[in-house]
Every structure is written in structure tokens, then in C-alpha cells.
């Protein structure tokens, strides 16, 4: 039976709408993927808050098909790094197409993933293909779309709190479920190392597509 509650809404003035849209854009556009981290720890309450923000994302039928595993233990981070590097070495050396390697070249990435150990925390995001209720599967809907949106919320929450992150997708990444002892209904979705940037770290000089390139107005 559906139950409804009042929606709390405050109408902004046109000027305030413009100001807030511009302010949020200028915050988001300063986010960058960071691949060199300081070892400075991140407080647990900050990580809890950014995960709560991710968990506030919309999802198919409100099934919230995500789980976030926060790894700070050095031994677990080392095991994740070694397993990721083993897969990434094979990918860079044999599995990726020349086109893919050419597209990655401007980013200067390779199979070494030191950040998996130096970042003080790894948020490993799992998608849940179904939930288990009393041992029985209960289907989830639009799982990839929902978890992708939640990760977007997560990345911006991290950025807005003054932390930095990387979106990392070692491929294949089923080793994550094994190392972290996740149940069978979960699939590793991606890894988000979180922390503070290493001193004087640099980022690739990349372009953003223009508004004309990314939008059509009819
Ligand atoms: C789904 C996805 C997977 C990614 N996987 C990796 C990865 O495995 N390793 C990496 O170094 N960067 C990865 N990235 C980061 C992208 O390279 C980066 O977002 C892109 O170059 C734009 O740079 P920016 O994030 O600094 O704006 C990934 C990004 C996304 C959205």
C-alpha cells in the first residue's frame, strides 16, 4: 500500500537559481581523477557521510542495489593491488585493443597501481544483481544505471568534502568479491581510492566537450 508524505520544497528566485547552478558547475568542473595519493588518513565520519550521499541516489523501483566496502587495512589493500596489477598487466600487454591503448596514452596510465596501497581508503562498490530475503532472491532493476548514478553522487560528495578520488576499473575484477568475501549476489562494480593528493601531483591536460557537442535543443 503506497503511503505519501508532503514534499518539502523551497522555490528559489531566478537569480538564486542561476547563482546556484553556476556555483555547482564551478565546483564539479574542478573535480579531477587523482592517481597519486598522500598517505594522510581520512576520518571515518567523512567516509560515512559520502557513502550516505551515494546511498541517497535514485534507483530502479527504489531497490538501492549497491553495497560499499571501505578498505583501510594495509594488508587487504596490498592484496587488492597485487591482484589488480596482475590483471592489468595482462590487459595492457595482451587484452586491450590498439585503439584502447591509444585512447589511454594521453592519460599516461599503465598496469602499475600503486595508488591502491597509498590511498588511505578504497571504497569498493558492489552492485547487487538481486537481494537475498530469507535466502530467496528478490530481483533488482536497472542495476548498472542505478549503481552508476550512486557512484556519481559518491564522487561529487568526495570532491565537495575537499577529498580526491579515482574511478578505477581493474578488468576483470571478480577478485575483489573473493578477497573481500562478498556474497554471491554481489558483483564488483568499481574501486574508488579516496584521500588527499600527493604533494605536487599532476593531472593529464584533458579537454571537455563543448555544450554544442554534448547537447541538442529541439
Ligand atoms: C567508468 C570509468 C572507469 C575508469 N577506469 C579507470 C581506471 O581503471 N584507471 C584509471 O586510471 N582511470 C580510470 N577512469 C578515470 C578516467 O580516465 C577519467 O575520469 C577521465 O580521463 C577524465 O578525467 P577526470 O576524471 O580527471 O575528469 C575511469 C573513469 C570512469 C568513469
Q: Tell me if 206 CB under 6 Å of ligand 1.
A: yes
Q: Tell me if 205 CB under 6 Å of ligand 1.
A: no
> What is the SS3 string spanning the chain?
CCCCCCCCCCCCCHHHHHHHHHHHHHHHCCCCECCCECCCCCCHHHHHHHHHHHCCCCCECCCCCEEEEEECCHHHHHHHHHHHHHHHHHHHHHHCCHHHHHHHHHHCCCCCCCHHHHCCEEEEEEEECEEEECCEEEECECHHHHHHHHHHHHHHHHHHCCCEECCECCCCCCHHHHHCCCCCCEEEEEEEEEECECCCCCCCCCCCCCHHHHCCCC
Tell me what pLDDT residue 196 has.
98
Given a cut of 90, is residue 166 above it in pLDDT?
A: yes
Given a cut of 90, is residue 13 above it in pLDDT?
A: yes
Q: Tell me if 91 CB under 6 Å of ligand 1.
A: no
Q: Average of pLDDT values for 86-96?
A: 94
- The strand order across the sheet containing 66-71 reads 66-71, 121-128, 186-195, 164-165
Q: Average of pLDDT values for 187-195?
A: 98
101 C-alpha to ligand 1 centroid (Å):
14
Tell me what pLDDT residue 139 has.
95
Confidence grade of residue 135 (pLDDT, cut at 50, 70, 90):
confident
Confidence grade of residue 23 (pLDDT, cut at 50, 70, 90):
very high
Looking at the CA of residue 104, tell me the nearest atom of ligand 1: 17
Q: pTM for this structure?
A: 0.97
Tell me what pLDDT residue 67 has.
98
Which tens digit of pLDDT belongs to each residue from 36-62?
999 999 999 999 999 999 999 999 999
> For the chain, what percent of residues have pLDDT higher than 70?
100
52 C-alpha to ligand 1 centroid (Å):
23
Q: Average of pLDDT values for 209-215?
A: 98
Looking at the CA of residue 32, tell me the nearest atom of ligand 1: 26
Residue 129: exposure state from Cβ atoms within 10 A (0-12, 13-18, ≥19): middle
Given a cut of 90, is residue 15 above it in pLDDT?
A: yes
Nearest CA to ligand 1 atom 29: 167
190 C-alpha to ligand 1 centroid (Å):
11
Q: How open is the CA angle 215-161-104, to the nearest 5 degrees?
A: 50
Tell me what pLDDT residue 1 has.
84
Which tens digit of pLDDT belongs to each residue from 92-125?
999 999 999 999 999 999 999 999 999 999 999 9
Given a cut of 90, is residue 167 above it in pLDDT?
A: yes
Selection from 58, 77, 215 nearest residue 141 by Cα: 58
Nearest CA to ligand 1 atom 15: 167
Q: What Rg value do the Cα atoms of the chain yield, rounded? A: 19
Q: Average of pLDDT values for 171-185?
A: 96
Confidence grade of residue 190 (pLDDT, cut at 50, 70, 90):
very high
Best of 27, 33, 102 to mutate for ligand 1, by most ligand atoms within 8 A of CB?
33
CA-CA distances (angstroms) from residue 69 to 109, 146, 161, 166? Answer: 25, 17, 19, 16
Q: What are phi and psi of 119, to 5 degrees?
A: -60, 135
Amino acid at each position: 500500500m503506497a503511503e505519501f508524505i508532503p514534499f518539502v520544497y523551497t522555490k528559489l528566485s531566478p537569480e538564486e537559481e542561476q547563482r546556484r547552478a553556476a556555483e555547482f558547475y564551478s565546483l564539479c568542473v574542478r573535480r579531477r581523477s587523482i592517481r597519486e595519493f598522500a598517505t594522510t588518513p581520512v576520518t571515518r565520519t567523512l567516509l560515512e557521510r559520502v557513502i550516505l550521499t551515494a546511498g541517497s541516489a535514485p534507483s530502479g523501483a527504489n531497490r538501492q542495489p549497491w553495497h560499499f566496502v571501505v578498505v583501510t587495512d594495509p594488508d587487504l589493500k596490498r592484496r587488492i593491488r597485487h591482484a589488480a596489477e596482475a590483471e592489468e598487466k595482462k590487459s595492457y600487454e595482451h587484452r586491450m585493443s590498439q585503439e584502447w591503448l591509444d585512447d589511454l596514452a594521453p592519460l599516461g596510465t599503465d598496469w602499475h597501481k600503486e595508488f591502491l596501497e597509498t590511498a588511505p581508503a578504497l571504497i569498493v562498490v558492489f552492485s547487487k544483481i538481486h537481494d537475498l530475503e530469507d535466502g530467496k532472491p528478490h530481483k533488482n532493476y536497472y542495476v548498472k544505471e542505478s549503481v552508476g548514478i550512486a557512484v556519481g553522487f559518491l564522487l561529487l560528495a568526495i570532491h565537495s568534502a575537499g577529498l580526491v578520488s579515482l574511478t578505477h576499473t581493474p578488468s576483470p575484477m571478480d577478485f575483489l568479491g573473493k578477497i573481500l568475501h562478498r556474497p554471491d549476489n554481489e558483483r564488483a562494480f568499481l574501486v574508488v581510492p579516496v584521500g588527499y593528493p600527493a604533494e605536487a601531483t599532476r593531472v593529464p591536460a584533458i579537454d571537455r566537450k563543448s555544450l554544442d557537442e554534448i547537447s541538442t535543443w529541439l
